[in-house]
Amino acid sequence: MNYLVVFYSRTGLTRKVGESISDLLQCDREEIYDKKNRDGISGQISSGIEALLKKRAKIKEPVKDPAKYDLIIVGTPVWSMSVSSPVRSYLFRHRGKFKEVAFFATGGTGSTNAFREMGRICGKKPLAVMEIAQRDRADGEGISKIKEYIEEIKR
Ligand SMILES: Cc1cc2nc3c(=O)[nH]c(=O)nc-3n(C[C@H](O)[C@H](O)[C@H](O)COP(=O)(O)O)c2cc1C
């Protein structure tokens, strides 16, 4: 089985988690970059509004073709109890190409809703989901949960 880990990260936590997953699985990864400046309070507010309104951000063209992988593992920060707008864009853009999906989210509160939304966009039930909340950061940015998640994915 070959895996691709895809994630968006505004402040670095989802990137760290995504990198840990791809390091442990020894698989490819793809970071989603969007074209908007999301720095500071104004960036935070506009990001929250985009997520509330279910908007899609303008993202850079991804490098990897998801159709070439058996499982796409998609990670998002939780924004306004939902999926972030750059990840929403990625999912809409590629949803026809996914064989199987798994999801992870950082932030915690609202991740169940984010996963439901992501599954709906893809039209697929995820093989596994994982949330890394702020309290998990003390444990090596959630490394115990990440290892359990990988076991579940490989099962
Ligand atoms: C616009 C915005 C909305 C957010 N909404 C939530 C939320 O609803 N629930 C939550 O637990 N965290 C929320 N957060 C916190 C982020 O999900 C959390 O800090 C996340 O780990 C950041 O990931 P990143 O470092 O990869 O960007 C929000 C952050 C932003 C910027």
CATH number at residue 77: 3.40.50.360
* Residue 36 CA to ligand 1 centre (angstroms): 17
Q: What pLDDT is recorded for position 14?
A: 96
Ligand 1 within 6 A of 43 CB?
A: no
Yes or no: say if 118 and 103 are a contact pair by the CB < 8 Å rule. yes
- As a whole number of angstroms, the distance between CA 27 and CA 31 comes to 13
Yes or no: say if 92 and 121 are a contact pair by the CB < 8 Å rule. yes
pLDDT tens readout for residues 80-138 = 999 999 999 999 999 999 999 999 999 989 999 999 999 999 999 999 999 999 888 88
Is the model's pLDDT at 70 over the cut of 90?
yes
- Looking at ligand 1, which residue's alpha carbon is closest to its atom 22? 77
Q: Which domain covers residue 8, as residue numbers?
A: 3-154
- Looking at ligand 1, which residue's alpha carbon is closest to its atom 15? 107
Number of domains in the chain: 1
Neighbours of 136 (CB within 10 A): 20
Q: Which residue matches tokens 């909340």?
A: 133
* Residue 17 CA to ligand 1 centre (angstroms): 14
Question: Encoding tokens for residue 123?
Answer: 């039209």
